[in-house]
Amino acid sequence: MPELPEVENIAMGLRQSILGRPIDKVACFSPVIIKGSRSEQWQSFLATFAGRSITSVTRRAKRLILATTDQRALVFQLGMTGKFLLKQRSDDRHKHTHLVFSFPGDQELHYVDTRRFGRLWLFDCLDPQHPDAAMEAEGMGSLGPEALRLTSNRFHALLDSQRSIKTLLLDQTRLTGLGNIYADESLFASGIHPARSSRRIGSEEATTLLRQIKGVLRRAIRAGGTTFSDFENAYGDIGRFRKRLKVYGRQGEPCRSCGGPIERIVLAGRGTHICPRCQPQDP
Ligand SMILES: [Zn+2]
């Protein structure tokens, strides 16, 4: 499932490839992926993109926002396997291509989603810099602040909860941007056991954790994200962060700090990877 660094890389790829280019046509082959109050009028909505161009590609949490200058917007939630691929008109079309942007010449941008958990919302008016209120009004749920923009004080205040720190880090209404991979990596880098109560994380530990969260996310963005099976950006590049993971997916392998075996436990229903020596439950 794409997390923040992967969605950020998809956004960067789209900025390089389609920003400001006039669109000939947007065709949808799977209207079932379109949600929200404008889903019934998807044909007339998409028709308005002819002759316009996407002037902004932004990310909010794991959502990707493609907007025009007059704030007409497409908001993608990529699900497990949603991705964009640059193609030529003559190329074979993937079986699970749901949306195609055609550009003058013969270039196309395909939105492909094999497992079909991805969703698309249509907005007549959405400010890509401040999209939250419009997205909430469409029933997309509320989002916490971006992990990369949080201050230590605000982060520490967010930790006032009896829930485990891992559960809290994954709660997108508290803070956004961390999924399973980067939550495990950030907790390991901070020496914090994921089952510890959030409320019992001290302010110094909270500062360390936030610094590690930002560091892990930034390194993962620079490495192009993490690819396990499916993720690639619009140019077909896969993420290179996988080989730099320290705990996620490394159960049974030696810890890169202490040499002890990495363990996989289940916490709040999620596979969770820890080094029991480096992340003591009762520090
Ligand atoms: Zn260790």
Q: What residue segments make up the domains of the chain, in order of their start?
A: 4-137, 147-274
SS3 content of the chain, % helix, strand, coil (to 5): 30, 25, 45
Alpha carbon of 4 to ligand 1 centroid (Å): 26
**Domain at 147-274: CATH code:** 1.10.8.50
Alpha carbon of 255 to ligand 1 centroid (Å): 5
> Domain 4-137 - what CATH class?
alpha beta
Is 276 catalytic? The answer is no
Alpha carbon of 261 to ligand 1 centroid (Å): 7
Q: Which of 62, 63, 87, 174 is catalytic?
A: 62
**Taking a C-beta distance cutoff of 8 angstroms, is the pair 180, 267 a contact?**
no
- For residue 229, what pLDDT is reported? 67
Is 131 catalytic? The answer is no
R_g over Cα of the chain = 20
Residue 120 main-chain phi, psi, to 5 deg: -130, 130
- For residue 268, what pLDDT is reported? 83
Condensed to tens digits (0 to 9), the pLDDT of residues 163-199 reads: 999 999 999 999 998 999 999 999 999 999 999 999 9
Which tokens is 196 given? 């510890």
- For residue 234, what pLDDT is reported? 79
pTM: 0.91
Instruction: Report the candidate in 134, 151, 154 with the shortest Cα–Cα distance to residue 72.
Output: 134
d(CA 2, CA 6) in angstroms, rounded, equals 5
CB-side neighbour CA atoms (13 Å) of 187: 33
d(CA 25, CA 51) in angstroms, rounded, equals 8
- For residue 226, what pLDDT is reported? 82
Instruction: Quickly list H helices, the chain.
Output: 4-18, 42-47, 132-137, 152-158, 165-170, 180-190, 203-222
Alpha carbon of 231 to ligand 1 centroid (Å): 29
- For residue 263, what pLDDT is reported? 98
